[in-house]
Structure 1
Amino acid sequence: MAVPLRVAHDWFNRSPVDGFILAILGAVIVAALLPAKGDAAEVLDWVVVVAIAALFFLYGTRLHPREALDGLKHWRLHLTILAFTFVVFPLVGLAIGPLVEPIVGDDLYAGLLFLCLVPSTVQSSIAFTSIARGNVPGAIVSASASNILGVVLTPLLVVLLMTTDGDVTIDGTSVLKILGQILLPFIVGQIARPWVGPFFARHAKITKLADRGTIVLVVYVAFSEGVREGIWSIVDAGQLVAVAVISLILVLVMLLVTRWVPQRLEFSREDVIAIQFCGTKKSLATGLPMATVLFAGSTVGLIVLPLMIFHQIQLILCSWLATRYGREADAATVS
């Protein structure tokens, strides 16, 4: 009996569908069955504001300024990754518009375009780069820089590239909310880092719990709003399948491009891996809070849905790819 249990435990640990993803799906189901209404919804809206500010304060306590300065020496690597994140991805998002918007509808296409504008992930980009035996220090700096710059660049890209038709309102007030709710807490976290940083470093589970807990809360509130407004009645199974297929193709295309271009630019194997995993990832942790602020009072549930689907697909594919690269590196070392 112990052997099957151990095998099941090992499989669950390796499975890309971890407890975090299950919690997100659970939040969607609970919101569909028991959406927040009335006073409870208003209270939760304020809780989300405080939770997001606290989350980015914690992000500010993570990154040592010296690490960022030291890592900036490899400027070609970082510029390449940032170019994929904030230039190539947005251009791809605009290019696919005429093809996919008639299929998935305006709001879901807005979500697909929005996911192309958010910064890269931090934890998973670094983790996959490490598993693949890539340039981990470079990945740390690039992924962190992507999130820092994304606090400013993503709202600006949204203003420049996304329309303001319908209920979506994107203006200077939204950008100020982003700066006050996300950038300011991050800066305060950087300032407070010498005093509180060691505590959070010793208690990493606190940051992880706040990170994932905030995302689950944002998902619940966003989808509750969607249920209250009845917007889910306009989305059918075919549209959801289409979003999943488009997300899969988008991940595959970006994985190929972020490998082919760096190889042509004669980056080392380690750098190519860092570029591939940092340049193709899109952050659910950063994207959801931003969407909540930028699209407050709108069909935010539909807009964040493509990012949630894309996030799961990128985890599955990158997990498989990183493991394959790691095995190849180990085999080359042995031989």
Structure 2
Amino acid sequence: MSILSRLIPDRFVLVLLLTVAAAALLPVRGPAAVYAGYGVSIAIFLLFFLHGLRLPRAEVVVAMRNWRLQGVMFAFVFALMPLFAIGAARLTGETLPQGLVIGVLFLGMLPSTVQSAISYSSLAGGNIAASVMASALLNLAGIFMTPLLVAVIIGASGGAAISGDTVLRIVAILLLPFALGQLAQGWLGKWAGRHKSLLTLLDRTAIALAVYVAFSSAVADGQMQALGWGVLGVLAAIIAGMLAAAMLAAWALGGVLSLPRADRISLLFAGSHKSIATGAPLAAILFAGPQAGLVILPALLYHQLQLIVSAPLASRLAKARGD
């Protein structure tokens, strides 16, 4: 179990891997897949309602006062990381299926994680308040920025469903529930604080359902069966290279800008981490049909690798601070 906990630090990642396996063995097909798609839409609506319910408006205002650090993080996540993804996608040549190449591009456009970026920043001695709010603000911005980047960089030719209907779905399934959650804080805020474990379970169930339906569609279409160990090995190498480049660039940029060490650490984790919690629902909306399963796969691998690498890195940074 010690070895397993090091390879899979977050148990939810194990749940997602088991979800992928379940989709491979027992994919939802036919009319059931249609109803499962409706279920995913409802689950995503609930997911973003809970996001809005738990993000205090006052803290967002406070975070915006540190505009320099927040601005650097925003530019790193939504400008520099997409450039890394474009470079990585070009390096693949024709070694990866088109769906995985699109997935690598999509990965670069995702916002940062919330929980892991904050946890590792705290462990390493980073600016915890800045990390908390950067993660929250980046995920909120991701509702707008990720679809915009997908439209500009990937476009309809890459399989992205960019249309008026897509915009309406984003508004109806992402923005509307988030706004309702913000409005409901006065009535449900205290209840949410008392039931964090229940809300976390609901969050993760929604994400797992989105992953299961997306991978089921890819399996039913025969796309997942075409992935051999060679393809997965190339994808893993590309993902590892992206993570290494992101972490090195974030740390170097913090040095060039002469950021305080705590802010530099926060930039390192909030800048380089990517959120599968936001990625899975957005992929389900932006990429219709079987392609969504392949598109999610790079983000799932990146999320797992960032956890494996960040734990010893945070410990080393903490020790260096104490020396």
TM-score class normalised by the smaller sequence: over 0.9
- State the 1:327 CA deviation: 2.6
Q: Does 1:18 align with 2:18?
A: no
Q: Contact between 1:152 and 1:179, CA under 8 Å: does it hold in 2? A: no
Using the size of structure 1 for normalisation, the TM-score is: 0.92
Which of 137, 152, 155 is matched with 1:145 structurally? 137
1:120 equivalent among 112, 117, 121: 112
Q: Which residue identity does 2:49 align to in structure 1?
A: F
Matches within 5 A, 1:99-248: 99-165=91-157, 167-248=159-240
Tell which deviates more after alignment, 138-147 or 38-47: 38-47
Tell me, in whole angstroms, the C-alpha distance in 2 between the residues paired with 1:204 and 1:296: 32
Closer/same/farther in 2, CA of residues 80 and 166 from structure 1, 3 Å limit: closer
Contact 1:151–1:179, Cα closer than 8 Å, also in 2: no
Letter in 1 for 2:313: L
Q: Distance in 2 between the 1:11 and 1:199 partners?
A: 38
Equivalent pair of 1:168/1:299 in contact (CA under 8 Å): no
Counterpart in 2 of 1:59? 51
Deviations 1:276-313 (A, max 9, x none): 10000111000110000011224111111111111101
Residue 318 of structure 2, aligned match among 321, 326, 331? 326
Check the 8 A contact 1:125/1:278 in 2, yes or no: yes
1:321 offset after TM fit, Å? Answer: 0.9
Structure-2 residue corresponding to 1:83: 75
User: Which residue of 27, 31, 52 corresponds with 2:23?
Assistant: 31
Q: TM-score, normalised to structure 2's length?
A: 0.95
**Mapped contact 2:214–2:292 kept (Cα < 8 A):** yes
> Could you tell me whether the CA contact under 8 Å between 2:161 and 2:287 is conserved in 1?
yes
- What number of residue pairs does the alignment pair up? 323
Report what 1:40 is aligned to. Answer: 32
- The Cα offsets for residues 9-65 of structure 1, whole Å up to 9 and x where unpaired, read as x77666644321221111111111111122322221111111110011001011111
1:172: how far off?
2.8
**Aligned 8 A contact 1:68 1:141 in 2:** yes
* Aligned position for 2:246: 254
Cα deviations across residues 58-93 of structure 1 (Å, max 9, x unaligned)? Answer: 010111111111111111100111111000011122
Q: CA RMSD in A?
A: 1.6
Deviates more, 1:230-239 or 1:263-272: 230-239
1:289–1:125 CA distance, 2 compared to 1 (3 A): same
Gaps of 5+ in 2: none
Instruction: Map Cα deviations across residues 118-149 of structure 1 (whole Å, 9 max, x no partner).
Output: 11111111111111111000011111110111
Secondary structure class of the residue paired with 1:104: coil
Amino acid at match of 2:157: D
3-state SS of the aligned residue for 2:73? helix
User: 2: CA distance between counterparts of 1:262 and 1:74?
Assistant: 15
| Structure 2 residue matching 1:134: 3-state secondary structure | coil
Q: CA deviation at 1:245?
A: 0.7
Task: Give the structure 2 partner of residue 5 of structure 1.
Answer: none
Please say if residues 175 and 294 of structure 1, whose CA atoms lie closer than 8 Å, have aligned partners that are also in contact: no
For 1:241-320, what aligned pairs fall within 5 Å after superposition? 241-320=233-312
Moved more, 280-289 or 167-176: 167-176
Say which is worse superposed, 132-141 or 292-301, in terms of deviation. Answer: 292-301
Check the 8 A contact 1:62/1:197 in 2, yes or no: yes
Q: Which amino acid aligns with 1:36?
A: V
- Name the aligned partner's letter for residue 246 of structure 1: I
Offset of residue 95 of structure 1: 2.5
CA–CA separation in structure 2 for the residues paired with 1:172 and 1:245: 37
Decide which structure has the larger Cα Rg and report it. Answer: 1
Offset of 1:189 from its aligned partner? Answer: 0.4
Q: Deviations over 1:186-221 (max 9, x none)?
A: 111011012111111111101211121112111111
- Compare 231-240 and 111-120 and name the one that shifted more: 231-240
1:114/1:101 CA distance change after superposition, 3 Å: farther
Listed as ranges, the gaps of 5+ residues in structure 1 are 1-7
Q: In the alignment, residue 43 of structure 1 is paired with which amino acid?
A: Y
SS at match of 1:293: helix
**1:251 maps to amino acid:** L
SS of residue in 2 equivalent to 1:169: coil
- Match for 2:126: what amino acid? G
**Structure-1 separation of matches of 2:38 and 2:182:** 24
> For the residues of structure 2 that align with 1:71 and 1:168, how far apart are their CA atoms?
33
Counterpart-to-counterpart distance in 2, 1:211 and 1:85: 23
Local SS of the residue matching 1:96: helix
Identical aligned pairs, as a percentage? 37
